[in-house]
Amino acid sequence: MRGTIAERMRRSLHETAQLSFHAESEATRLIEVRRHAKAAGKSIGVEDIIISVLCITLKSFPRFNATIDGNVARISTSAHVSVAIGLPNGLVAPTIFDADTLTIEDIAARRSDLIARARNGQLNVREMSGGTITISNLGATAVRFFTPILNTPQVAILGIAQIASRPWIDSLDQVCVRPVLGLSLTVDHRFIDGEPAGAFLSKLVHELENVQVVGTS
């Protein structure tokens, strides 16, 4: 399994033009939404909320929700979000299909199911190959940013780093301490240029900082 993963990563780096971008998001609202869900008895994680917000962002940036086959890029009309799952002997990235049509609660349920079946070796071929964008979460570590490698043939992958208290300048230009989330985006530069990548991350940050209560799509 390690050999297969190594070969896929080598091929991904060799066959694409990968470029990474980094941004920070003030995470107060994100934490409040998760706390609200927990108080309501809903099992929802930060990653589930971010997946939902990612789907909202993709509606404004459809080129990031695409795959490349040879020299042909295909933009998907649905967001099939692959989620990287670490296993004792490697890494898999099964897919939450049509995530853009799901509530945060539904996303959480499907992600939990994928994690359970990944650990039991019960994932099927379609789940392992049908994604249009990937999310990789290192939020449980001390990592602030990283450079995720594209899950080819997809053209974009979003990395989630830790949420930690850091100095922040608020809307009144006052220095304060806020929970801050690190985000890392890698794109295939053959299909996505730097300016739209920056705009995509900016839109994602805006949506995260204004995320709505659990129960909405």
Radius of gyration of the chain (CA): 17
Which is the catalytic residue, given 113, 170, 193, 206?
A: 193
What is the Cα 149 distance to its own chain's centre? Answer: 12
Residue with tokens 């530069």: 189
The pair of three-digit structure tokens given for residue 32, joined into one six-digit string: 């409040």
Q: Residue 24: enclosing H or E segment and its boundaries?
A: strand 18-26
Residue with tokens 């997946």: 51
Buried b (16+ CB within 10 A) or exposed e, 54-81: bbbbbeebebbbbbbeeeebeebeebbb
Which is the catalytic residue, given 22, 36, 106, 189?
A: 189
Residue 145 dihedral angles phi and psi, to the nearest 5° = -150, 160
Q: Please name which of 10, 34, 21, 17 lies closest in space to residue 203, comparing C-alpha atoms.
A: 21
14 is catalytic: no
Q: Please name which of 99, 95, 150 lies closest in space to residue 123, comparing C-alpha atoms.
A: 95
69 is catalytic: no
Cα distances (angstroms) measured from residue 25 to each of 4, 129, 190? 34, 30, 27
Which of the residues are catalytic? Answer: 189, 193
